[in-house]
Amino acid sequence: MELAYIPSPSRGVLPLGPIPLRAYAFCIIIGVFVAVWLGNKRWVARGGRPGTVADIAVWAVPFGLVGGRLYHVITDYELYFSEGRDWVDAFKIWQGGLGIWGAIALGAVGAWIGCRRRGIPLPAWADALAPGIVFAQAIGRWGNWFNQELYGRETSVPWALHITSSTAGRVPGYYHPTFLYESLWCVGVGFLVIWADRRFRLGHGRAFALYVAAYCVGRGWIEYMRVDDAHHFLGLRLNDWTAMAVFVLAVVYLVLSARMRPGREEVVEPDTGADPSAEDAGDTDGKKAATAVEPDAGTDVKPDAVTGAATDGKTGAGTGAGTDGKTVATTATSDGDAVEPGRKPGAESPADTAGANGSAASERDGAGSAKKN
């Protein structure tokens, strides 16, 4: 008689009227929320805007679910397309069966589409989301516990998993809880990525590559313990070969990326907001802008007079007040001097010449009057 073991749930479905609430689906949904929540916090900490991670996840999650299901159906096609099987079951994702390799691959395609629409780099987004993804995997593995699936070889360890179902070829007994092993491994990988990212300031997709490489190491030995049906090549399960290949690719990316693009992205999301200072100065594109000026008290200037303000240092059109109280059209040069139309900068205007001549004439008349007196 076993004194200690991990019991299996009696059922993984809770009917709510005509709607079945499946624990497997709830585990996936909770995992997605955790990934988006943590990814958003990390994205904002790196200079991104709140909500961007969720916006891109709208693309990545559906693609990931389709990719995970496709990988599972293709690699275990005999479960759905062999004699006596119903191919419609291939669409019943709530019954379990998602391949992480397909989920990550096709999910990356969806994320690329979302990032491209927002104009942000995919590697930076993947780095922010990496720990959240692996924590989501840790949560999702508990869906296998509810479904009594994907367990390991028989064992007598105190933490053995007690399988009670005899459907779908299961044999009741005590087995290694590989779902628990992988869940704990994923939690460890998540904290490893967070630590390494803070310690070495990983960027350009290297935090995501570290997550992939570390996960593959654990998936390799855990996959080797499983006893469910799988395709074998040279004595190893297909998922073992996949884990080794993906591990090599992730390590190669880590090394090459560190050499070619060291450091971390300074800007992960472009700022598309308007600059208030530019609005105050005039047009935000730096072109000419007209600024209304209130007339000074006691000056006969029309209320609608405006002065030209050139934000880019070029000339701007405007009006000035004449000496006789009338308005005179002037042009503002880049050095701030007012120039009348048709006159080159630096040249005296007719008004100036007239004013000077008038002053000189007044002085002569005054002198002549003095002599007469």
pLDDT digits (tens, 9 = 90+) for 118-172: 999 999 999 999 999 999 999 999 999 998 988 999 999 999 999 998 887 789 9
Q: How far apart are the C-alpha atoms of 140 and 131, rounded to whole Å? A: 14
Q: How far apart are the C-alpha atoms of 301 and 322, rounded to whole Å? A: 9
Q: Are 166 and 172 in contact (CB under 8 A)?
A: yes
Provide mean pLDDT across the span 176-182: 95
For the question of whether the overall pTM of this predicted structure is more than 0.85, the answer is no
For the cut 50, the answer to whether the pLDDT of residue 314 exceeds it is no
Name which of 122-136, 147-161, 177-191, 333-347 the model is least confident about: 333-347
Nearest to 178 by CA among 139, 213, 225: 225
Pick 165 or 56 by higher pLDDT: 56
Rg (CA), the chain: 37
Q: What percent of the chain has pLDDT over 70?
A: 72
Pick 248 or 318 by higher pLDDT: 248
SS3 150: coil
pLDDT of residue 60: 96
Locus of tokens 């070829």:
169
Count of C-beta atoms within a 10 Å radius of residue 248: 12
Angle, helices 122-140/178-200, rounded to nearest 10 degrees: 150
β-pair type (161-163, 6-7): parallel
pLDDT of residue 355: 44
pLDDT of residue 162: 95
Q: How far apart are the C-alpha atoms of 315 and 318, rounded to whole Å? A: 10
For the cut 70, the answer to whether the pLDDT of residue 260 exceeds it is yes
**Quick one: which H or E segment has residue 7?**
strand 6-7
pLDDT bucket at 88, cuts 50 / 70 / 90 = confident
| The pair of three-digit structure tokens given for residue 230, joined into one six-digit string | 């799988």
Which range in 23-27, 83-87, 295-299, 332-336 is most confidently predicted, on average pLDDT?
A: 23-27
Name which of 93-97, 121-125, 149-153, 229-233 the model is least confident about: 93-97
Q: How far apart are the C-alpha atoms of 307 and 321, rounded to whole Å? A: 11
pLDDT of residue 2: 54
Q: Are 327 and 301 in contact (CB under 8 A)?
A: yes
Q: With the CA atoms of 71, 39, 111 and 189 taken in that order, what torsion angle do they form, in degrees rounded to the nearest 10?
A: -40
Name which of 84-98, 217-231, 268-282, 328-342 the model is least confident about: 328-342
Pick 245 or 98 by higher pLDDT: 245
